[in-house]
Structure 1
């Protein structure tokens, strides 16, 4: 699988190696060490579109967003998801 977006030809890259204990990834709502203090923000699927930029979410607007739409990550902390159901949705498209 190609990691470079331009080489994927419309496919999504899921890095399964980051989905394991002790992997070092940015958690949701964490501030990234980038100019502008960008924040790792969970998104609804309809928000994932062309033109989305990392600097759309910063420490200056993150709390306002959470107060406005709620914590959309919260359900992930529950019993989890049916990953096969999620994968089958991608296979349908």
Structure 2
């Protein structure tokens, strides 16, 4: 849990909506990648790094990336129309 956005997400959503799964760590016995594949939308908050691997993981899992960041240049933005497959 790093960056300014993630603690706010946990405070707002953790254990408050049964349809929105928010974990600090993935529970034992739960596959992170299978959880992504079952999801329609995947929250991809920024952290301290320039890029988050969650964006690529969401796309790979055919999950709509929900990008929460400020002043972030999306990867391959010169060839990808991010507005067509992300929120």
* Higher Rg of the two aligned structures: 1
Q: State the TM-score, normalizing by the size of structure 1.
A: 0.25
Higher helix share: 1
Higher strand share: 2
Q: Which has the higher contact order (CA 8 A, sep 6+)?
A: 2
